[in-house]
């Protein structure tokens, strides 16, 4: 009998970049992550003064798409329910805001919670039958929703409310008296920015909470989740509702930004855009949603500017390139990069091959 | 009653298109465990290839064969070059790759052959088969070819070793490797076959909807719907589902008030979703029993 | 020597799981890998089949197979019954067996072997047209072993064959394994948590701890050594 000596090998690790903490008196822990977010917000605040007004408008749209994609992310990325129908929620949010403003003279700020509320209810109701459908079958059902929405919006008997094929005009809001030095475009930018900050923060909180963990547990292993006492049906339908709420609020903001709603803007293609943005940004990553929004706003334009005839092909080629290089999206790529940096700072074991 | 029968027949005729497409969809799903959103565009591109061959003077049957062979090779190449490198990526990333492929093929076809509508010939002729003109020779031909394809596929998958290997490779790639199956090539073969079937579907459909780059969008959607309705595990179910979608769409358009052309798709989809609520794995789908 | 492993390291991503593992297995012999959960036993089998990233040498029948694709190693005659059994759940029992013989060309031989499998495992014959996923744990294990044997392997790798099975079934299974080894001379490498049973079947045992072989020797000696049994095998 031979006995070999054993040594347990410990590999010391250098502290990771994002783990560096600074403790200030009063106990406020500031991590590198917080600093990054703070810097981003600061940049966001001063951006309108640094770029042309058209670019600022596009950035407003980037934020709006980012919010819509965050809605989809909550459902698909964090809860594993696949949806091709988020263009419908976006449209419902947009039309709710437009109808309330044009027909009922509601204040624009109030249309956001109204749109959110309506979409929450619709999303929740859709989530109920969705409980029975898995994967591709759910995809088909949500797809049906996406296809149905423009048709419903054009539906003859509802024209009095929706404005039919021609849609509705929305009056862009003016800045409040205190900030009257801003143009209405600039006010829209800051208004959108504040809404984004609040909602992204809320989402981040949700994801880190017990509820968030339950939601993710359902995605990863529904049977085990149920076995630990999580009421999967309740969580899944509520997540559907919240997801719709987020995308609906984005839709309302979109209506304010574009100042116009029409049925064909909310087609299935929009759902596809959201999906592409979700994947490119990084499924399950909250900051990734903004990158996704940036991508789906700018890249189609870039493709078109390279060649109008082959715009679709170039867009497709760019998509493929990005997927090849960053299969888990931008967020996945960043994670990989950070891990790579950590690894190269770690002293390696002597017997390394 | 007369009207009902008429509409059912018309639905079956239209449904044969969807059935063919649904068959192609399920085929590739069985081979690669993904829904290929670019399936319609691949079929469209193949049809253009056939058309181009005929423009260059080849007779129909030769152009048909060329298109099918080229499509088969194309399908294999697409799998090896585009999808193999990302097969370890998350499902949603693969989905975006399909979307990219869609864009490339659609835009490419438009660039090469422009968007004007072209005629595409049918080998069956257009003489009506039944006295009251409910179905013409081409429509009957479509149904016939679809059923023949279905029979051939059934025999292939259930009765041959290669078919069994392909099913295994798609269902459980790791275990398939352990028994010596070259999973990568099985997947490529599946793509090739699906592309070839898609080519046949495209060449059958083009005479009816006319050849242009966007011709397959509606058909693909109905094809998906049919495949899902039939249950994605069953080629026979897919064909049945395709026919059913055609009939449902037609009957909805005729008998439900307010439903014009646009709403037909919506109604059809809603009905399908309703069916799925009752039978979540599709009408003929096998419920996969898995032990936890 | 049919199988020689020298200095095998294995990695799951960045995690270094096996360190310098070396062992032999000769034609027709049965050896067992023992150790606690997480010691790396399953990883060794996966490494032999090219399913994990490795460094080091694996020589099978004189060929250096480290770095080969799984399917190519299988075609050399290495059959692996994996952890979790790897059953094709949507296919029938009969189809599972046919899949095991996928790399063979001799139809008559395959049909004969299927018959023989049903003789070894009569329970499977009853269920030959049933979906494999509906079989019980014990039956699936028998099916997995049967499927592996359809390859007519020279080396049979078994990963925790007793896992989740009732004791009586386990004894039945191990008796069958002994019989198969006696009749066909197929070599076996068995990873087991049920050390007692494994030590009865095998003639030589390796003990693993955190990715290293810490001890090895004739099965009878290891089984008899109280100290070893208490510290490593838990009984």
Residue C227 three-state SS: helix
pLDDT band at A24; cut points 50, 70, 90:
very low
Q: Does B180 touch chain C if contact means CB atoms closer than 8 Å?
A: yes
Q: Which residue has the higher pLDDT, A177 or A20?
A: A177
The mean pLDDT value for C6-10 works out to 91
Given a cut of 70, whether residue A11 has pLDDT beyond it is no
Among B36, B95, B221, B288, most A C-beta atoms within 10 A, so best to mutate, is B95
Helix residue ranges per DSSP H, B33-136: 39-55, 60-78, 91-113
The parent domain of residue B134 ranges over: 2-114+127-278
Q: What is the ipTM of this complex?
A: 0.91
Q: How many domains does chain B have?
A: 1
Model pLDDT, residue A2: 42
Residue C36 three-state SS: coil
Given a cut of 50, whether residue A16 has pLDDT beyond it is no
Position B215 in a domain? yes
Q: Buried b vs exposed e over A193-217: b needs ≥16 C-beta within 10 Å? A: bebbeebbeebeebbeeebbebbbb
- Closest residue to C74, CB basis, from B167, B171, B177: B177
Q: Write the pLDDT tens digit of every residue in A33-70.
A: 788 888 888 888 888 888 888 888 899 999 999 999 99
Position A198 in a domain? yes
Is B170:B35 a contact under the CB 8 Å cutoff?
no
Position A9 in a domain? no
Q: Buried b vs exposed e over C74-91: b needs ≥16 C-beta within 10 Å? A: bbbbbbbbbbebbbbbbb
Q: Buried b vs exposed e over B18-53: b needs ≥16 C-beta within 10 Å? A: bbbbbbbbbbbbbbbbbbbbbbbbbbbbbbbbbbeb
Q: Write the pLDDT tens digit of every residue in C107-166.
A: 899 999 999 999 988 889 999 899 998 998 888 999 999 999 999 999 999 999 988 888
Find, in chain B, the residue whose alpha carbon is nearest to that of C78: B178
Distance to chain A for B232, nearest Cα, Å: 9
Given a cut of 90, whether residue B68 has pLDDT beyond it is yes
Interface subset of B 28-67, CB within 8 angstroms of C: none
Q: How many domains does chain A have?
A: 1
Paired residues of A2 in beta bridges: C216
Interface subset of B 106-165, CB within 8 angstroms of A: 106-108, 110-111
Vertex C76 angle, CA C48 and C205, to 5°: 40
Tell me which chain B residues have a C-beta less than 8 angstroms from the C-beta of A221.
Answer: none
* Domains recognised in chain C with CATH numbers: 3-86+152-233 (3.40.50.300)
Distance to chain C for B286, nearest Cα, Å: 9
pLDDT band at C96; cut points 50, 70, 90:
very high
The mean pLDDT value for A89-118 works out to 91
Model pLDDT, residue B209: 83
Contact C98 B164 (CB under 8 A): yes
Given a cut of 60, whether residue A20 has pLDDT beyond it is no
Q: Write the pLDDT tens digit of every residue in B44-56.
A: 999 999 999 999 9
CA torsion through residues C52, C56, C60, C65, sign: positive
The parent domain of residue A199 ranges over: 51-170+181-266
Given a cut of 60, whether residue A353 has pLDDT beyond it is no
Q: Write the pLDDT tens digit of every residue in A68-82.
A: 999 999 999 999 888
Nearest to A57 by CA among A183, A182, A186: A186
The mean pLDDT value for A110-116 works out to 92
Model pLDDT, residue A29: 57
Is A193:A187 a contact under the CB 8 Å cutoff?
no
pLDDT band at A3; cut points 50, 70, 90:
very low
Position A246 in a domain? yes
Position A280 in a domain? no
Position A232 in a domain? yes
Model pLDDT, residue B25: 83
- Closest residue to A343, CB basis, from C9, C14, C19: C14
- Closest residue to C74, CB basis, from B165, B180, B286: B180
Position B291 in a domain? no
C14-to-A343, B32, C212 alpha-carbon distances in Å: 9, 29, 17
Contact B175 C82 (CB under 8 A): yes
The mean pLDDT value for C76-91 works out to 92
Q: Write the pLDDT tens digit of every residue in A249-272.
A: 999 999 999 988 998 889 888 999
A181-to-A49, A52, A174, C41 alpha-carbon distances in Å: 13, 17, 11, 71
- Closest residue to A6, CB basis, from C14, C212, C222: C212
Residue B62: alpha-carbon gap to chain centroid: 22
Distance to chain B for A206, nearest Cα, Å: 23
Q: Which residue has the higher pLDDT, A204 or A347?
A: A204
Distance CA A275, CA B92 (A): 8
Q: Does B84 touch chain C if contact means CB atoms closer than 8 Å?
A: no
Distance CA C102, CA B19 (A): 32
Nearest to A73 by CA among A278, A290, A294: A278
Retrieve residue C183's tokens.
């009749």
Q: Write the pLDDT tens digit of every residue in C199-228.
A: 999 999 999 888 899 889 999 888 888 877
Q: Does C151 touch chain B if contact means CB atoms closer than 8 Å?
A: yes
Position B38 in a domain? yes
- Closest residue to B179, CB basis, from C74, C89, C133: C74
pLDDT band at C40; cut points 50, 70, 90:
confident
* Average model confidence (pLDDT) across chain B: 84
Is B71:B199 a contact under the CB 8 Å cutoff?
yes
Q: Write the pLDDT tens digit of every residue in B111-164.
A: 999 888 888 888 887 777 665 556 778 878 888 888 888 888 888 988 899 999
Given a cut of 50, whether residue A323 has pLDDT beyond it is yes
CATH number for position B180 = 1.10.3470
Q: Does C154 touch chain B if contact means CB atoms closer than 8 Å?
A: no
Model pLDDT, residue C187: 95
Position A334 in a domain? no
Per DSSP, A173 falls in state P
A30-to-A16, A19, B81 alpha-carbon distances in Å: 15, 10, 46
Distance CA A195, CA A64 (A): 10
Rounded to the nearest 5°, which phi and psi values hold at C220? -60, -40
Give the side-chain half-sphere CA count within 13 A for A24: 5
- Closest residue to B276, CB basis, from A133, A147, A323: A133
Is B44:B199 a contact under the CB 8 Å cutoff?
no
Given a cut of 90, whether residue B74 has pLDDT beyond it is yes
Q: Does B292 touch chain A if contact means CB atoms closer than 8 Å?
A: yes
Distance CA C23, CA C226 (A): 24
Retrieve residue A184's tokens.
């209405």
Distance to chain A for C69, nearest Cα, Å: 21
């Amino acid at each position: 009998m031979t006995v070999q000596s054993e040594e347990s090998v410990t590999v010391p690790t250098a502290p990771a970049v994002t783990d560096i903490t600074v403790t200030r008196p009063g106990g406020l822990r500031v991590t590198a992550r917080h600093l990054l977010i703070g810097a981003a917000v600061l940049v966001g605040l001063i951006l309108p003064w640094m770029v042309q007004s058209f670019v600022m408008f596009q950035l407003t749209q980037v934020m709006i798409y980012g919010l819509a994609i965050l809605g989809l992310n909550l459902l698909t990325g964090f809860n594993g329910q696949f949806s091709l129908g988020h263009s419908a929620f976006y449209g419902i949010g947009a039309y709710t805001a437009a109808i309330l403003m044009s027909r009922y003279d509601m204040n624009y700020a109030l249309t956001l919670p109204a749109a959110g509320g309506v979409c929450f209810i619709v999303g929740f109701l859709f989530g109920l039958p969705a409980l029975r459908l898995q994967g591709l079958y759910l995809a088909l059902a949500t797809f049906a929703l996406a296809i149905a929405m423009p048709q419903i919006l054009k539906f003859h008997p509802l024209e009095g409310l929706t404005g039919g094929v021609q849609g509705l005009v929305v009056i862009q809001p003016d800045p409040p008296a205190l900030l009257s030095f801003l143009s209405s475009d600039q006010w829209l930018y800051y208004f959108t920015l504040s809404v984004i900050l609040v909602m992204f923060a809320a989402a981040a909180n949700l994801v880190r909470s017990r509820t968030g963990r339950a939601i993710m547990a359902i995605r990863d292993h529904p049977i085990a989740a149920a076995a630990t006492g999580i009421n999967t049906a309740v969580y899944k339908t509520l997540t559907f509702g919240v997801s719709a709420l987020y995308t609906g609020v984005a839709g309302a903001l979109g209506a304010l930004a574009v100042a116009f709603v029409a049925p064909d803007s909310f087609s299935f293609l929009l759902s596809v855009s959201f999906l592409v943005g979700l994947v490119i940004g990084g499924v399950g990553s909250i900051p990734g949603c903004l990158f996704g929004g940036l991508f789906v706003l700018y890249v189609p334009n870039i493709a078109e500017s390279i060649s109008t005839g082959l715009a679709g092909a170039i867009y497709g080629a760019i998509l493929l390139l990005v997927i090849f290089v960053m299969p888990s999206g931008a967020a996945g790529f960043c994670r990989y990069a950070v891990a790579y940096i950590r690894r190269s700072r770690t002293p390696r074991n002597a017997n390394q091959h | 009653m007369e009207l009902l029968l008429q509409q059912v027949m018309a639905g079956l005729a239209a449904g044969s298109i969807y059935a063919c497409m649904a068959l192609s969809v399920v085929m590739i799903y069985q081979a690669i465990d993904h829904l290929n959103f670019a399936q319609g565009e691949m079929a469209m591109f193949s049809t253009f290839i056939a058309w181009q061959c005929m423009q260059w003077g080849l007779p129909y049957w030769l152009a048909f064969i060329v298109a099918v062979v080229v499509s088969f090779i194309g399908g294999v190449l697409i799998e090896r070059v585009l999808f193999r490198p990302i097969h370890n990526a998350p499902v949603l990333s693969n989905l975006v790759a399909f979307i990219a492929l869609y864009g490339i093929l659609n835009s490419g076809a438009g660039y090469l052959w422009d968007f004007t509508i072209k005629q595409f010939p049918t080998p069956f002729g257009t003489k009506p088969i039944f006295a009251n003109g409910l179905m013409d020779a081409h429509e009957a031909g479509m149904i016939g070819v679809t059923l023949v394809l279905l029979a051939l596929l059934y025999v292939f998958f259930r009765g041959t070793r290669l078919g069994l290997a392909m099913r295994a490779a798609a269902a459980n790639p790791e275990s398939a490797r352990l028994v010596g199956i070259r999973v990568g090539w099985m997947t490529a073969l599946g793509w090739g076959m699906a592309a070839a079937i898609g080519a046949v579907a495209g060449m059958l459909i083009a005479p009816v909807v006319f050849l242009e780059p966007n011709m397959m969008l509606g058909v693909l959607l109905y094809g998906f719907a049919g495949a899902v309705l039939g249950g994605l595990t069953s080629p026979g179910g897919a064909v049945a589902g395709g026919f059913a979608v055609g009939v449902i769409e037609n009957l909805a358009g005729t008998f439900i008030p307010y439903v014009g052309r646009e709403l037909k798709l919506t109604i059809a989809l809603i009905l399908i979703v309703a069916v799925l609520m009752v039978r979540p794995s599709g009408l003929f789908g096998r419920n996969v029993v898995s032990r936890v | 020597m049919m199988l020689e492993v020298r200095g095998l390291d294995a990695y799951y991503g960045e995690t270094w799981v096996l360190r310098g593992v070396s062992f032999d297995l000769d034609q027709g012999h049965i050896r067992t890998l023992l150790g606690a959960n997480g010691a790396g036993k399953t990883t060794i089998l996966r490494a032999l089949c090219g399913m994990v990233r490795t460094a080091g040498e694996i020589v099978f029948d004189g060929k250096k197979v480290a770095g080969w694709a799984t399917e190519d190693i299988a075609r050399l005659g290495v059959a692996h019954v994996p952890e979790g059994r790897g059953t094709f759940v949507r296919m029938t029992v009969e189809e599972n067996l046919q899949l095991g013989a996928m790399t063979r060309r001799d139809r008559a031989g395959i049909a004969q072997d299927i018959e023989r499998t049903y003789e070894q495992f009569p329970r499977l014959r009853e269920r030959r047209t049933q979906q494999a996923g509906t079989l019980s744990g014990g039956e699936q294990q028998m099916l997995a072993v049967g499927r592996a044997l359809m390859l007519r392997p020279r080396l049979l790798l078994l990963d925790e064959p007793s896992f989740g099975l009732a004791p009586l079934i386990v004894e039945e299974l191990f008796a069958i394994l002994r019989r198969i080894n006696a009749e066909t001379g197929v070599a076996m490498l068995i990873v087991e948590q049920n050390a007692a049973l494994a030590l009865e079947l095998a003639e030589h045992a390796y003990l693993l701890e955190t990715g290293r072989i810490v001890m090895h020797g004739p099965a009878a000696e290891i089984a008899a050594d109280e100290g070893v049994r208490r510290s490593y095998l838990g009984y």
